[in-house]
Chains A and B, each alone.
Chain A
Amino acid sequence: MKRERQLGIIYSAPMGLWLTIFFLIPISIIVIYSFLKKGLYGGVEWQFTLKAYQEMFNPAFLKVLWRTLWVSVVATAITLLLALPCGYAMARSRHQIFWLALIIVPFWTNSLIRIYAWIAILSSEGFINELLLSLGIIKESLSLIYNQQAVITVLVYINIPFAILPLFTTIDKFDFQLLEAARDLGATKRKAIFKVLLPSIRSGIITALIFTFIPIFGAYTTPLLVGGKDSYMIGNIIVDQVTKTRNWPLASAFSLIITLLSTLGVIWILVSGMQDKAKGVVK
């Protein structure tokens, strides 16, 4: 028995080592730095202070924080609304592999290149404007890029596979006879979807939500490249604090917020997953 316990430690050692090196240590550095004094030329001085957290309450930062939340909520909502019917259609399709491939293949291209592709699509001299101009639908180029809408569009595009895939897998497991049963028992089509389908794929929806909201919340490249003069998000502030304004503690404090938020999200998934299981037992 004792020997087995020892073996358990050995088996879990690689995992423990991995988490220590790539999770615990970096997170600890971020936590510690956020409570230190900023060094004059970047870095930190070993002196405890809460200044970084006080600085966060700067109205300019709060505005960016608010904007980040707003953009993230809108982009996540659009992503989910688009991903749900996609996932549903895929689950019911006979060509699942084909659709899966269509979703996965774009991943083979670097996301930076895909963002530049969007610049080529959306810009004043880009594909959409050229097309509309040549068809005579518009007289002057529309401003489709360097604004909040462009940021949201590209964020949705980049993150939608992360929503479709979990939704697809849960819907795929759903027993569609339940829908028929609901219809037989007098439910309308809409009622059957909202009362039977959606509650059953709840865990998939939450996973999709978390998988899209967290990366969008920490977005950096998209607002930088397709955003306008007022599209900054928290991710951009963090980079600026490290590379331009030499305020590492503030950067750490912001990172910590993003990390905490992500952790809360993951806890939410776990808890709701457990609740689902508990419900299943009661039934």
Chain B
Amino acid sequence: MRKLSLLLLVGITFLLTSCPKEEKVLHLYNWTYYTPEALIEQFEETYGIKVVIDYFASNEDMFAKLKAGAKGYDLVFPSQDYVEIMIHEKMVLPIDHEKIPNLTYISPLVLEKATYDPTMEWSVPYYMGAAGIAVNRKRVSDYPRDWSIFSTKKLANRMSMLDDLREVIGDALAYLGYSVNSVDKKELEEAKRLINQEWKPNLVKFDAEGFAKAFASGEFLVVQGYAEAIYEELDTELWENVDFFLPPSGGPMYLDSMVIPKGANNTEAAHLFINFIHTPEVYAQFLDRFHFPSSVNTAAAPYMTTEPFYHVEDLENYELKRDLGENLTLYNTLWETIRYNE
């Protein structure tokens, strides 16, 4: 018996030590389709590190999983509000600037907006953008290039807005000249009135799943959404029929960042990856893939070969969605009257 257990012990030790060396694998936890396959392969070839990617579809999913004790991710890509929460909850490790010389390319304008971590102590920006409005130019003419397009009666039942409370309420707040993070009850009440009385009667639905397909098929003529999702559904020769714009009155904006979660096995490779992705030539490939503007890494702009769907200047009046903490309840109640009431 004793011999057997000894044998088992030796066996287990052997099994454990014969595992592939830890430094050779990098575990990413990222949004679905957010890092081009080609770049991952480039990274693997350059550094001889295997990349394993796990995907999430929403910040809430990601957060719940990490909070529940998921370990072993080396680099996670949350949006600004969740970066703030994760810093606050002490779930992330500090960034070692020495190891990431390419941090110099990060736009100071972006860091200025990232008030929760302006010195990149805990997070490194990945991409900053915003949802906008896409109009089917072939079928619609003479329309306001602003959020007020949703008040257009003649487009009733052919327009959709995102099924996302922060986006829709944020747009209304910005249109009224308030902060997209307002917790002022009077301002929120005004936003609610604008949405319920002016916009919602003309909307066919609030949709975050099928709107891009419905826009591509000509069913929806005006949609609020993310440019990359909308164009993805269309053949390139049809792109000229689309007018995509970010309303100048502003709205909510997002900043996805890279953080190294506590419990990471390979912080070394995580730093390497951050530095790699922010090499201007490499970052330009990422932007090209999605036709993004070079908001975060301005040095990448000269290397880009595509025209972005919108420009960095368009984001001027846009404001990052902050975590509202307890005040999220205010937005929830508002959203219930918009979403659940007839």
Contact = CB atoms under 8 A, between A and B. Distances in A.
A231 B217 CA distance: 22
B19 interface: no
Interface stretch (B240-248, B263-271, B278-286, B332-340): B332-340
B120 interface: no
User: Which of A40, A41, A119 has the largest count of B CB atoms less than 10 A from its CB?
Assistant: A41
A228 interface: yes
A212 B134 CA distance: 39
Contacts, number: 74
Contacts of A63: 340-342
Interface string B154-184: 0001000000110000000000000000000
Contact of A228 (B205, B213, B217): B205
B332 A232 contact: no
Interface in A216-251: 224-225, 227-232, 237, 240, 242-247
A122 to B, nearest CB: 10
Contacts of B313: none
B63 A64 contact: no
Contacts of A231: 205
Given A42-B60, A245-B332, A225 B210 contact: yes
A143 interface: yes
Given A41-B85, A224-B209, A230 B342 contact: yes
Nearest to B81: A41
A60 B337 contact: yes
Nearest to A241: B332
A61 interface: yes
A247 B85 CA distance: 17
Contact of A227 (B85, B205, B332): B205
A145 B158 CA distance: 11
User: Which of B85, B157, B339 has the largest count of A CB atoms less than 10 A from its CB?
Assistant: B339
Nearest to B163: A224
Contacts of B61: 243
B138 interface: no
Contact size range, B:
20 to 34
B214 A123 contact: yes
A259 to B, nearest CB: 21
A58 interface: yes
Interface string A98-130: 000000000000000000100100011100000
B121 to A, nearest CB: 21
Contact of B328 (A64, A124, A246): A246
B204 A146 contact: yes
B217 A125 contact: yes
Interface string B190-220: 0000000000100111100110011001110
A32 to B, nearest CB: 16
B203 to A, nearest CB: 6
B325 interface: yes
B67 interface: yes
A144 B157 CA distance: 12
Contact of B67 (A42, A123, A228): A42
User: Which of B58, B214, B325 has the largest count of A CB atoms less than 10 A from its CB?
Assistant: B214
A43 to B, nearest CB: 6
A247 B67 CA distance: 16
A143 B157 CA distance: 9
B89 interface: yes
A232 B340 contact: yes
A243 B58 contact: yes
Contacts of B341: 60, 63, 230
A245 B67 contact: no
B210 A229 contact: no
Interface of B: 58, 60-61, 63-64, 67, 85, 89, 157, 164-165, 200, 203-206, 209-210, 213-214, 217-219, 325-326, 328, 332, 335-337, 339-342
Interface of A: 40-43, 58, 60-61, 63-64, 116, 119, 123-125, 143, 145-146, 224-225, 227-232, 237, 240, 242-247
